[in-house]
Structures are given as C-alpha cells and as structure tokens.
Amino acid sequence: MAGKQLTLFYLLLTNVAEGVLPRIQYQMSGDLIIGGLIPLHNYDDISERCASRRDIGSLRLVEALVYSITTVNQDTERLNGITLGYEIYDTCSSGSETLKNSLAFVPSLRDKDNVLGVVGPQRSSSSIQATKLLGLYNISIISYLSTSDELSNSVRYPYFYRMVPPDIFQINVIVDLLTSYNWTYVGFIYSDDSYGNNAKLEFFQQVEESRICTAYDHRAFTIVPKAGHLANFDEYFRTNSLNSNNPWLKDFQEEVDDCRGSASNCATDGERPQFESKVADAVEVFVVALIEQKRLLCDEAEPPVSSKSDCVAKIIENRSSFRNSILEVSFLSPSNGRVEFNSKGDAAGRYDIRQFQTQKENQFEFIVVGNWSEIAADRHLSIDRVKWYLDDTTGGNTVYRKPWCRSRFVVNHVIPGRLP
Ligand SMILES: *[C@@H]1O[C@H](CO)[C@@H](O)[C@H](O)[C@H]1NC(C)=O
Ligand SMILES: *[C@@H]1O[C@H](CO)[C@@H](O)[C@H](O)[C@H]1NC(C)=O
Ligand SMILES: *[C@@H]1O[C@H](CO)[C@@H](O)[C@H](O)[C@H]1NC(C)=O
Ligand SMILES: *[C@@H]1O[C@H](CO)[C@@H](O)[C@H](O)[C@H]1NC(C)=O
C-alpha cells in the first residue's frame, strides 16, 4: 500500500515537472481562495478516465459552494473588505483524480499562495488522499460527507475536519434503537470491505452483553447523517446557477432543461438528505475561523495590521493557528443547528433514521421515521412514522447463538447507512 502511494506521488510529481497541473475548472478570484473538491462524474477504472456523469445533486453541491461564498462576499462588513474566491475541481469520484486536483492548492505550485482551505472531498478515500497531501502544507480540509472512522485520527490527519459524524456512531444508534424498542432478533447486513467489517465488529461487541440475537435478512432501516434544507437555495439554483458559467452545466443539459421547465423537477425530493446545507456550513466554518484569525493576527496585533494585503498574508503564514480557530468554531447553522467540532475534527453525531417503506403500489422509499443525537438531552428516538409489516414473518437462521435465541423468528432490521 505504502509503495503504491509512493509511486502515485512520484508519478504526480513527475507530471508536475512536465507542467501538467490540473486545469482550473470553475473559479472566481478573491483575496483568499476556498478550494472545492466535488465529484461530478464517476471514474472508469479500465480506461482510467472520468466517465459517466453523476446525478444533478452533484451540480447542486457545486452551486451550493458558489452560493455560500457569494453570499459571504455580499456582506462587505463581515470580513472588513477581504473577499473570498473559489476554485472548484471535479474529483470524478476517484482518489487518484482527487490527489491530482489537490496539487492545484499546493502553495509552491501556485502563482499566489492564497488558499484559505478546501471544502470536500465527498468520499472518504478521496478525503484521505487530499488531506495526506495538503496536510503537508497545513492546509485545512472540511469534508461535507466523508464518514470513515479512519479520518478521526487527528495525529495522522490533523488538518482534516468534517461536517458529519464518523461511522462508529451509527452502531450506537442501532443498539439504542434495538434496546429501546425491545427488538431482540435483528438482521445485520454489511458490505465485505473495511467499512462493513469494522461496523460488524463494533456491532457484535456492543450487543455481546445484551439480549439481542442476530441473523441475516433483508434491509428495512437505514441511518444517515442529519442534513437540513438550505434555505433559499432551490430558487437560487434555478434562477442563477442555471445561467452561470459553471463549466459542467452542459454535461447535465437534459436535467438542467427539465429544471428550467419546472421548479419541482430540480429540487431534490424532500426525503433525500440534502448535503448542500453541509457545504454551506463548511464555508461558514471557514468564515467564522477567518474572522477570529483576523482579530488575533491583525486587529489585536501589536502594532495592529491595518493593510488588507498584509493581514491576508499573515493569515496565510499562520495556517497552523488557523487550525485552532477552526476547532474552536461554534455557531448556529440555520439548517443544521449547533455546529462544533470535537478535538478530532468530527461534527457531533446526529442522524436521521429512515425506513424503507411501501408508498404507492410497488413503490419503495426511504422515509424519515426518527432521529438520534449524540447528546443525550437532544436524543429523540421518535419513530412514530414507522410502518409495521406484521405479515412479514420471513425468518432466518440465527448466526450469533445465545442460549435464549430461537432459530426462527419475526424480524426487524436495521442497517448502517452507506452514503453515495
Ligand atoms: C505547519 O505548522 C507547523 C507548526 O504546527 C510548522 O512548524 C510548519 O513549518 C508548518 N508547515 C508549513 C509548510 O507551513
Ligand atoms: C421494553 O421492555 C421493558 C421491560 O420488559 C418494558 O418496561 C418496556 O415498556 C418495553 N418497551 C417497549 C417500547 O415495548
Ligand atoms: C504567526 O506566525 C508567526 C511566524 O511564524 C509567529 O511568530 C506567530 O507567533 C504566529 N502567530 C500566532 C497567533 O500563531
Ligand atoms: C427529532 O425529531 C423530533 C420529533 O420529530 C423533533 O422535535 C426534534 O427536534 C428532532 N431532533 C433532532 C436532533 O433532529
């Protein structure tokens, strides 16, 4: 593994030497730049290229980043004249593409050392690549969706933070759900990779002492990080974004046309998690921490630094103290409640519990039936919207045998949510 990564770094550096830096895809200038690493396409491992495009939700994430930065700039008082720009790249859902894109933010490879931080990537494997490289330069990365437990390692990834909790919490949610409803026979479905196997180990450890019996069966519940609606964004997306110079618009032409036709065709459906609000919160984290840095390094310096360009330069020089300001951020997000990080850079554990329900005839959807919070006082295991399928008596074989477990049973299933 290490060898493979070294080779990759070597190849990349060779490419840089040959002048093959990634092309900037979507940008606006500013005194300080917020980078964006967002997947708009999938990756084809065989041709080693960006291939089919993802759904319109990806385009919305990009525009949510643009929208948030534009909104910050409209209030000139807030940053006292310092403007934010952006440079957004398509990671193509690939770790190696992400690493290549991340080179664009490396100070020595840029015309100007002015990257404040990066929002993204989405997938954990991509976040690991990006933060391994940019961490070398003390550049902070805030992911809106990477949930792998590995990224909680703040010794290895000190400059990585995220707006979502690590997967490990999902197991606590599951066990809470099971015990508070006295469900004793459950199916635990997991994928045969490090994510699934870690989840399984953790789950079996936690239920070891309980009366819960486990077996395999089909899925019914899922647990996803809570993400609220980003107010005013739907309208912005339809009126501004679809006429912007977003270079990916034409790839999404069909859906975009659909969207122009009717607003309802372009809002994501209400029941789907909207990680756009997490992108907006990530930008807000950078802004709140930037205001704090400006206060410490410029306004309250002795003597005070009053020139905007000197102040910006000081903020860039002190990226390691920017990290402290990020970890101390605390604000109330209009979409997602209190935003804070623990010392590992993880957001608080807050989840929606969704059930796979029959809606209309033969139509299934994941419906929100409850929620869970890491903070005990905030915990609402309110699953009043649960549909009970009483005729579903499909049983399975108990695989985790305890003396009190029968071999046939009626099942309720809970699975940790796997994000796209
Ligand atoms: C990163 O921060 C550390 C202090 O925590 C500092 O010693 C180091 O020089 C910084 N590296 C860069 C590339 O700025
Ligand atoms: C679960 O079991 C306990 C003890 O048997 C009982 O007091 C409680 O009401 C049960 N809860 C539910 C939701 O059925
Ligand atoms: C900012 O960086 C300078 C030079 O590295 C250092 O002397 C100073 O202590 C830093 N300030 C803070 C508040 O970290
Ligand atoms: C959970 O759901 C309840 C009832 O729907 C709601 O009152 C509460 O605010 C929610 N809590 C969280 C943390 O989302």
* Domains 17-143+231-335 and 168-226+349-416 belong to one CATH topology: yes
Q: Which ligand is nearest to the CA of 138?
A: 1
Ligand 2 and 181: CB distance under 6 A = yes
Report the sign of the C-alpha dihedral through residues 228, 232, 235, 238, in that order: negative
Closest atom of ligand 2 relative to the 181 alpha carbon = 13
Is 101 in contact with 89 (CB distance < 8 Å)? yes
321 CA distance to ligand 3 middle (Å): 8
CA atoms of 220 and 167, how far apart (whole Å): 19
Burial of 342 (0-12, 13-18, 19+ CB in 10 A): middle
CA atoms of 297 and 293, how far apart (whole Å): 6
The phi and psi torsions of 154 (rounded to 5 degrees) equal -80, -10
CA atoms of 25 and 16, how far apart (whole Å): 18
Give me the pLDDT at residue 26, please.
95
Q: Whose CA is nearest to atom 7 of ligand 4?
A: 380
Whole-structure pTM value? 0.84
Residue in 106, 109, 138 to alter for ligand 1 test, most ligand atoms within 8 A of Cβ: 138
CATH of domain 168-226+349-416: 3.40.50.2300
Give me the pLDDT at residue 95, please.
93
CA-CA distances (angstroms) from residue 289 to 133, 156, 157, 274? Answer: 22, 22, 19, 24
Give me the pLDDT at residue 376, please.
72
Q: Which ligand is nearest to the CA of 173?
A: 4
Give me the pLDDT at residue 241, please.
85
Residue in 319, 320, 323 to alter for ligand 1 test, most ligand atoms within 8 A of Cβ: 320
Q: Which ligand is nearest to the CA of 377?
A: 4
137 CA distance to ligand 1 middle (Å): 7
Beta strand ranges found along 220-349 (DSSP E) = 221-225, 331-333, 337-339
Domain borders along the chain are 17-143+231-335, 168-226+349-416
Token representation of residue 243: 């006429």
- What is the full per-residue pLDDT of the chain (420 aa) written as tens digits? 344 444 444 444 444 444 455 665 899 999 999 999 999 999 998 888 888 888 888 999 999 999 999 999 999 899 999 999 999 999 999 999 999 999 999 999 999 999 999 999 999 999 999 999 999 999 999 999 998 889 999 999 999 999 999 988 887 887 887 777 777 666 666 666 666 667 777 777 777 666 677 654 455 667 788 888 898 898 898 888 888 889 999 888 888 888 777 766 676 655 555 799 999 999 999 999 999 999 999 999 999 999 999 999 999 999 999 999 999 999 999 999 999 999 999 998 888 887 767 666 666 667 777 888 887 777 666 666 676 654 444 444 334 445 556 555 445 555 555 443
Q: Which CATH superfamily is domain 17-143+231-335 in?
A: Response regulator (3.40.50.2300)
Ligand 2 and 10: CB distance under 6 A = no
